[in-house]
Amino acid sequence: MTDSTQVTVPIQRQHRLADVVSLRGIRSEVKKVEGFNAKFAVVLTQGVGTMACAYLFAVIAFTSLPATLVAANVIPKSDVPNFLTKPGLILIISWVAQTFIQLVLLSVIMVGQGVQGAASDARAINTYNDAVTILDRLDTHTEGGLKDILDRLDQLEAAK
């Protein structure tokens, strides 16, 4: 008898960057769809949906943090490297974060998810059809089903 209160060790899984951002995986997904827009959306959706991209976005976001802290008088300007408080850098980071990532990438990701959802629906329908076919063939009341197998076994048993 096992103790149901026993705590199991969680499974830890480590990934290398090459495994997380797999070009083979993206390539196979792209081959499944037709049209440039769908392919581009799938590539971006697969790429943005990785932890590597999340880290990149975090670096972009944290690049403007020192200038914000200096402007809010939380830290003195002398504690921050000069290039992190330059107005040009702050404007570029703001444009990338607020305009490109939020406006452009959001719509592309939505298209990519729509394409992936349609592919998932098609796979689900195929799985359902396969299951129906298998169940139909295993049905004891249909031609070629288990009834035929059982009848043949009965014949073999009687022949002994």
For residues 83 and 64, the answer to whether their CB atoms sit within 8 Å is: no
For residues 133 and 125, the answer to whether their CB atoms sit within 8 Å is: no
Query: CA–CA distance from 119 to each of 33, 45, 113 (Å)?
Result: 8, 14, 10
Averaged pLDDT score across all residues of the chain: 76
What pLDDT was estimated at residue 20?
43
Instruction: Read off the pLDDT band of 145 (50, 70, 90).
Output: low
Residue 66: count other Cβ atoms within 10 Å of its Cβ.
Answer: 19
Give the three-class secondary structure for 37: helix
Reported as type and span, the H/E element at residue 157 is helix 146-159
What pLDDT was estimated at residue 17?
43
Look at residue 69 and tell me whether its pLDDT is greater than 80. yes
Look at residue 158 and tell me whether its pLDDT is greater than 90. yes
For residues 89 and 63, the answer to whether their CB atoms sit within 8 Å is: yes
No. of helices (H) and no. of strands (E), the chain: 8, 0
Instruction: Read off the pLDDT band of 101 (50, 70, 90).
Output: confident
What pLDDT was estimated at residue 156?
92
For residues 42 and 30, the answer to whether their CB atoms sit within 8 Å is: yes
Buried b (16+ CB within 10 A) or exposed e, 7-39: eeeeeeeeeeeeeebeeeebeebbeebeeeebb
The mean pLDDT value for 135-151 works out to 69
Q: For the whole prediction, is pTM greater than 0.85?
A: no
Look at residue 94 and tell me whether its pLDDT is greater than 60. yes
In terms of residues, how long is the chain? 160
Higher pLDDT, 43 or 79: 79
What pLDDT was estimated at residue 9?
55
The mean pLDDT value for 102-129 works out to 83
The mean pLDDT value for 124-147 works out to 76
Higher pLDDT, 12 or 49: 49
